[in-house]
Amino acid sequence: MSDFIDSKDQSIISLLQKDGRMSVKDIAKAMGLTRTTVTKRMERLEASGVITGYSAVVRKDFFDKKIRGWVMINTIPNLEEAAISAMKMIPEVSRIYTTNGRWDLAVAIWAADLESFDAALTKIRQVDGIESTETNLLLSSRIGN
């Protein structure tokens, strides 16, 4: 990774942190640079690992009334990575953790309602490589959100 980040790179990063959907054209205009220059700088920042991705920032209360739960999963030996890749494509899957002990994976699900949660659980159970599951709904939070 390149350690040299100049003020123009920092400005690009700052603008993208404020609005990850800001177009290259708008960034170039705001900075007084050409689109080609901004594009090359962004490509370099991505290639060097400074910018690792773009994401949607949602309001803090967006998930407050959603259904949340954990699915503990045992996988078939040598199929864990394929199962993880398949589960990443399920929109309600918010986190996937590898674990030790009784279960191979812990998967966090956030869904709009119980029906959506159930549908996501069904999709998970149909993934090749899933051997068994145990599901727990989260009822309340005692610390944090």
> Which CATH number is 92's domain given?
3.30.70.920
* 97 and 41, same domain (yes or no): no
* 132 and 81, same domain (yes or no): yes
Residue 25 belongs to a domain:
yes
Residue ranges of E strands in the chain? 67-75, 93-98, 105-111, 130-137
* 78 and 119, same domain (yes or no): yes
* 124 and 82, same domain (yes or no): yes
For the CA atoms of the chain, what is the radius of gyration? 20
Question: What total number of domains does the chain contain?
Answer: 2
3-state secondary structure of 120: helix
Lookup result for tokens 């549908």: 119
- Kindly list the strands in the beta sheet with 130-137, ordered across the sheet, starting from the edge strand earlier in the chain: 93-98, 105-111, 67-75, 130-137
**What pLDDT, on a 0 to 100 scale, did the predictor assign at position 80?**
95
Asked if residue 140 has pLDDT above 50, the reply is yes
pLDDT per residue as tens digits for the range 104-128 = 999 999 988 899 999 999 999 999 9
Q: Under 8 Å CB-to-CB from 76, ≥6 apart: which residues?
A: 129, 130, 131
Helix segments in 48-89, DSSP class H: 80-87
What CATH number corresponds to the domain at position 19?
1.10.10.10
* 40 and 81, same domain (yes or no): no
What rounded mean pLDDT belongs to the chain?
90
Full domain range(s) for residue 87:
67-137
**Whole-prediction pTM value?**
0.59
Residue 26 belongs to a domain:
yes
